[in-house]
Structures are given as C-alpha cells and as structure tokens.
C-alpha cells in the first residue's frame, strides 16, 4: 500500500457504486431477504386457499374473488377498504415490505456497521438513496414473488383466469413501480426512529396499511374534490394500479412514486445532516 496524501473527491456515481454495492451484497447474502420473498409468495396462496375451505358446517365459503388475477390487484381503484378482497392483494407486499426495510436498516444500526458507512461517506444523501433503491428492488422482487404465489394459490383454489392481459401487466408493473415510493417512506421512517427498532417496525406497519388514506378520502370528499385526487398519495396510486386500469395509471404510479421518493430522500437527508447519526 502506498500512502500518499492525495485526496481525490469521489464522483457521485463512484460513491453510489460503493454504497449500493454494500447494500445489495448484504441483501443478497442474508436469509432475511429470501424469508420475505417466501412470505410474499405464501400470503396470496394462503388467502386464496383459505377462502375456498369449507366452514364448520361443511359449507364452502363464499369465494372472495371472481378470478385468479384479483388476488394480485383489485377490480377497480377503491380508496376506502370495503371488503377484505379489496385489501388482500399485492398491496399487502407493501406492509410486509415495510417490516423488511425496518429489519434491514435496523440491522445496520444494531451491528454498528452504519459507523463504517458514515465514516467513509461524508454525504448523507448517499445513505438515503442507497437504502431506498435497495429496498425498492427487494419490494419489487416481493411483488414478483407474490405474483407466483397468487397464481399457484389461485390455481389450487380453482379460480377462473379471464382478464385483459394488458391491464394485468400494467397492474403488476404499477405495483412494482410503487415499491420505490414505499421504500423511500420506510427508509425515511427508519431514519427518524433509528434508535428505536420497535417503533420503526410499528410505524412502517402503520403507514403500510394505508390507513391514513381513509382520513385523506374524507377530506377529499368534504372539499368536493374528485376521488382521483387521492392518487397523489402512495396508497392511492398503489390501489389505482388495478385490473381495470390503463397506461395512464402506470404513468401516475411512476410519477407519484418518484415524487415521493425525492421528497422522502430530501427530508431524510436533512434529518441525517442535522442530527447525530449514531
């Protein structure tokens, strides 16, 4: 090793390459990621199989869905949950994805490895961007895993298969694109509650359920705004990517997801710059 006192400023891409490299290496080398992939696959399989099981009297329960693909996405964009069928679709990935992000980032702090990252990376935005992108990738993979589990579960339960292929692709892509926005929200929450792992998990779960959209929907209704206004929120855009949606829904998902990712990353960077990180 030749130790000369030259200090070359790494470019943004060099810095991100290092930080993203570590995060992806860790993600792909820890069992947690694969456990969450398995969870994402098991949930739709269980939901669809359980809804077809006979009750105590031996009667078959009323099926939740008309066809297999409704396990993946709802039939129409509903902003307020009306039945479990509207709720139990790929949006559930975002709830479990939140817990995964909490575990992933929480482990950074618990192990103390975050010290190495912050020592060698003076720019705090590197951390926010890297965690967001890595966790978005993980959640998009969970969406893929959910798709496989949903198809298998639907086939097992005997649901019908008819659906417009284009809408189905847009619905799945829409959900995957929304992973970026959700990952940025969870990264932001985990930066705020970095010293309290339990609070991080609870807050991720709470926001992941999209429960705040009920309040937002009430406000939108009272103000007489169109229901589509709710699409500016992460949950709104996520449910908008439904089986009846078109290409515009995918664009909305991409725009909303990217916008929230920028907002949460900026906010997280400001918090990290202004507060003690470890």
Partner 1 sequence: MNAIEIRNLSKSFRSLYAVDHLNMTVPVGAIYGFIGENGSGKSTTMKLLCGHLVPDGGSIRLFGRDYTDPGVRARVGALIENAGCFPNSSVYQNLRMQTINLGLQNPDEEIRRVLRIVRMEEHAQLKFKKCSLGMKQRIGIAMALLGDPALLILDEPINGLDTDGMRIMREILLDITGNYGCTVLISSHILGELEKIATHYGIIRRGRMIMEISAQEMDARAQVFVSLKTKDMAGAKQALSEKFADVRFDGEYLRVYDVQDSAAIVNYLMQKGHPVSQLKKNKIGLEEYYVELMSGKEDA
Interface residues with partner 1 (CB under 8 A)? 1-3, 5, 7-10, 14-15, 17-19, 21-22, 25-26, 29-30, 107, 111-123, 273-278
Min dist CB 264 to partner 1, Å, is: 21
Rank residues 5 and 165 by Cβ distance to partner 1 and give the closer one: 5
Min dist CB 8 to partner 1, Å, is: 6
Min dist CB 180 to partner 1, Å, is: 23
Nearest to 44 by CA among 175, 158, 172, 150: 150
Rank residues 9 and 57 by Cβ distance to partner 1 and give the closer one: 9
DSSP codes joined into one string, 14-31: HHHHHHHHHHHHHHHHSH
Number of neighbouring beta carbons within 10 Å of residue 173: 18
State how far the Cα of 73 lies from the Cα of 80, in Å rounded to an integer.
Answer: 15
Q: Which residues contact 108 (CB under 8 A, 6 or more apart)?
A: 114, 117
Min dist CB 262 to partner 1, Å, is: 21
Min dist CB 96 to partner 1, Å, is: 21
Rank residues 20 and 213 by Cβ distance to partner 1 and give the closer one: 20
Rank residues 105 and 171 by Cβ distance to partner 1 and give the closer one: 105
Rank residues 7 and 226 by Cβ distance to partner 1 and give the closer one: 7
Q: Which residues contact 164 (CB under 8 A, 6 or more apart)?
A: 243
Instruction: Tell me the chain's radius of gyration from C-alpha atoms.
Output: 20
Min dist CB 220 to partner 1, Å, is: 39
Torsion of CA 162, 167, 173, 177, to 10 degrees: -130
Q: Which residues contact 89 (CB under 8 A, 6 or more apart)?
A: 44, 70, 71, 72, 73, 74
Rank residues 22 and 227 by Cβ distance to partner 1 and give the closer one: 22
């Amino acid at each position: 090793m030749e130790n000369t006192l030259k200090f070359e400023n790494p470019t943004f891409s060099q810095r991100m390459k290092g930080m993203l490299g570590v995060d992806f290496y860790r993600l792909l080398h820890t069992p947690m990621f694969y456990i969450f992939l398995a969870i994402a696959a098991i949930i739709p399989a269980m939901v669809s199989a359980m809804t077809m099981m006979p009750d105590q009297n031996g009667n078959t329960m009323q099926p939740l869905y008309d066809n297999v693909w409704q396990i993946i996405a709802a039939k129409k964009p509903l902003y307020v949950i009306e039945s479990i069928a509207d709720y139990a679709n790929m949006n559930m990935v975002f709830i479990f994805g939140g817990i995964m992000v909490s575990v992933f980032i929480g482990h950074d702090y618990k192990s103390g490895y975050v010290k190495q990252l912050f020592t060698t990376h003076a720019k705090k935005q590197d951390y926010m961007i890297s965690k967001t992108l890595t966790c978005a990738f993980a959640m998009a993979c969970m969406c893929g895993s959910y798709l496989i589990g949903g198809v298998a579960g639907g086939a097992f339960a005997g649901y019908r298969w008819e659906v417009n292929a284009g809408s189905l692709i847009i619905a799945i892509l829409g959900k995957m694109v929304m992973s970026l926005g959700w990952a940025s929200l969870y990264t932001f929450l985990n930066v705020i509650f970095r010293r309290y792992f339990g609070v991080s998990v609870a807050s991720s779960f709470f926001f992941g359920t999209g429960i705040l959209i009920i309040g937002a929907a009430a406000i939108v209704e009272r103000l007489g705004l169109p229901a589509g206004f709710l699409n500016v929120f992460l949950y709104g855009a996520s449910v908008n990517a439904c089986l009846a949606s078109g290409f515009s829904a995918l664009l909305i998902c991409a725009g909303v997801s990217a916008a929230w990712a920028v907002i949460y990353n900026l906010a997280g960077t400001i918090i990290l710059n202004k507060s003690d990180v470890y």
